[in-house]
Amino acid sequence: MAKSAQKPDDAAVESLSFEAALRELETIVARLEQGEVDLEDSIVLYERGQALKAHCEKTLKAAESRLEKIVQGANGPAGSERMDVG
Q: Rounded to 5 degrees, what angle do the CA atoms 32, 35, 40 make?
A: 70
User: Of 3 and 23, which is predicted with more confidence?
Assistant: 23
What pLDDT shows up at residue 75?
Answer: 63
Neighbours of 70 (CB within 10 A): 9
User: Residue 80 — φ and ψ, nearest 5°?
Assistant: -70, 150
pLDDT given at position 2: 42
What is each CA distance from 65 to 9, 45, 48, in whole angstroms? 27, 30, 26
Rounded to whole angstroms, the Cα distance separating 79 from 23 reads: 36
Q: Look at residue 72 in the predicted model and tell me its pLDDT.
A: 83
